Structure 1
Amino acid sequence: MEHSVASQAHTQIRRYRTIRALTALLCAVALVCPSLKANVVSSKDYILWYRNYDSPAIRALVELSLRKTPEYGDFRVLRSEELSQGRVLRELSSNRSGLVDIANVATSAQREEFLTPIPIPIDGGLLGFRVCLVMPDKLDMFKGIHNLQDLVNSDIRIGQGSHWPDTSVLQANGIKVITHTRFEILFGMLKKNRFECFARGVSEVLYDMENQHDADLVIEPNLLLAYPMPSYLFVAPGDHETAHRLQLGMERAISDGSFAVFLKKYYGRAVEMLNLHRRSVVVLDNPYLTEESWHVGRRTLENLQRRLDILTR
């Protein structure tokens, strides 16, 4: 098992280096041979998974990354059909799908093996910090929960998507999990008391509340689940050009400060409104990451206080 994980990690490191090397090569060709660039560059449509397209933050980041790479040509970002997360990953892995080009999901060793990740956490690592959407009459169940053992010993069940990596992470930590394949159905299951907590990322939950327009749902005010869970953009394993463009665009955005502006604009409000500084942090282990992504996620977890301070300035 350790050998397998290490092998996957080395494979990913080689892949990341290949992406960076090819990105540099393409940029050099464009600079040295402008006439070649003029012949090659054209407008391209990128089909973004519908749940990412409907998220203002994720769509804004994809568009920011594409704008930072004008040498690749003009672009349009289009909304995909309403595919489940499992289906969208299968479509990407097929390398032949016309249904989706880009999807943002939480990473795992398996996903990095069959798809091409852009190994930069799109939300600064906030997806691994989760709060509970609950029904108001269930709030008392969360009183006195201060650590993992308290949560495991309680009657609290957590709702998650069948194909989400979080499901396996929660189960590996001894937490009771109820699942469904469709994201939208989980809200109805919560209201029907199929589970007590719909765990949502700090970077997602306010958007969920606004999108649902449901006065019956509230955000539990005292608990914060935290585990290493980087969220990456993924493309098909053979779609090297899109991978090169997204990675180069994100690196340029980090270098010129526009990525920090993006994080502050889209996630600063959530960090402040959710009072993350005052919550009891329940730290969970995530045994399903490659070595590279585990270190990315671990650094995010260790720098939680610093990230919260930056986003609320």
Structure 2
Amino acid sequence: MPLRRRELILSTAAAPLAAHAAPRRLRLPLVAPKAELARSYAAMLLEQALAAVGMPVILEPTAELIPQNRALQELGRQARLDVLWTMTSIEREQQAQPIRVPIFKGLYGWRLLLASPEIAARLRDVRTLEELRRFSLVQGLEWPDTGILQGNGLNVVVSPSYDAMFKQLRLGRADAFPRAVEEVWWELERYGQGLTVVPDICLHYPAAVYYFVAPEEAELAAAIERGLMRMRASGAFDKLFMEHLGQDLARAKLGSRRIIELSNPLLPPQTPLHRPELWYRP
């Protein structure tokens, strides 16, 4: 988008709407089973960001779970979906319009490993990427993380079913399941019978979860971006981030773990890695 047009759209998005304006309904995909979507961090951040630029909204999640790739395809089609949030990749940014503010501050690139206690005892001593390649890691069929791990030469067992991944660990068909800090403790409690979080180590690769909208929704994209930037400037962004994720971060103790750094061959060149204030570092 030309710079002057982008500035005009951002300026328009910043103008407060009339106090009596009817809330806009935004259809969102239910992409994960964790908690009620309306109370999730990403949904609340979206709602507050748009409120910050005078756009009241009502968030309407789908009744059924929708895989991430299918959700991207359905953005803007017959008003099926309006907004979703997911990890970015070069391919995904060709399908939909990203709002390039990493809403989890890169936290989805910080990965702890779920494994059986026996495998965890072996994994905790891993010190290099080469040593990690001796183990098999399970991931989802359509997940960008699958390509990231494979791009680093790791042995990846691909599964089409979320529930099946935990069973594969228990059955010994894969050694470990890398999970984001925001996911791992919740999953351990609900699906992790017989499993544990591997101590002492973590994986890290640059990764951004963005809001995405349909390519033709330039004004909505500009409103979301402007609202997020206002929340960052006021401190409301970081406050909400810590309210929802601070406990998980404290439990993960990333600063005391040995970090195995991976590259991300799927990361678009426009990713704002040059702006450290947008990213979490332990």
Counterpart CA distance in 1 for 2:7 and 2:195 is 44
Q: 1:127 — aligned with what?
A: 108
Task: Give the counterpart letter for 1:145 in structure 2.
Answer: V
Q: Secondary structure at the match of 1:204?
A: helix
Residue equivalent to 2:52? 68
Of 70, 86, 96, the match for 2:69: 86
Q: Residue in 1 aligned with 2:25? A: 45
| Counterpart in the other structure of 1:58 | 42
Deviation string, structure 1 residues 232-274 (Cα, Å, up to 9, x no partner): 1111111223212211211111011100101211222112111
Map of 2:229 onto structure 1: 251
More deviation in 224-233 or 77-86? 77-86
Q: Which residue of 2 aligns with 1:296?
A: 273
Does structure 1 residue 235 correspond to structure 2 residue 218?
no
Aligned counterparts of 2:143 and 2:86: Cα–Cα separation in 1: 8
CA shift, 1:278, in A, is: 1.5
Equivalent residues in 2 for 1:261-272, closer than 5 Å: 261-272=239-250
Partners of 1:45 and 1:78 within 8 A in 2? yes
* Distance change >3 Å, CA 19–CA 197, structure 1 → 2: farther
Q: Look up the match of 2:258.
A: 280
Structure 2 distance, partners of 1:285, 1:17, is: 35
Match of 2:122 among 141, 146, 154: 141
Distance 1:194 1:273 in 2: 28
After TM superposition, the runs of 4+ consecutive aligned structure 1 residues lying more than 6 A away are none
Alignment-derived partner of residue 3 in structure 1: none
Q: CA RMSD, aligned part only?
A: 2.6
Match of 2:164 among 185, 191, 195: 185
Unaligned runs of 5+ in 2: none
Aligned equivalent of 2:182: 203
- Aligned to 1:285, the other structure's residue is in SS state coil
TM-score (structure 2 length as normaliser): 0.87
Aligned-pair identity in percent equals 28
Question: 3-state SS of the aligned residue for 2:158?
Answer: strand
Which region of structure 1 is more displaced relative to structure 2, 243-252 or 44-53? Answer: 44-53
**Could you tell me how far apart the structure 1 residues matched to 2:88 and 2:221 are?**
16
Q: Is the 8 A contact 1:157 1:196 kept in 2?
A: yes
**Structure 1 or 2: more helix by fraction:** 1
Closer, same or farther: CA 206–17 of 1 in aligned 2, 3 Å: farther
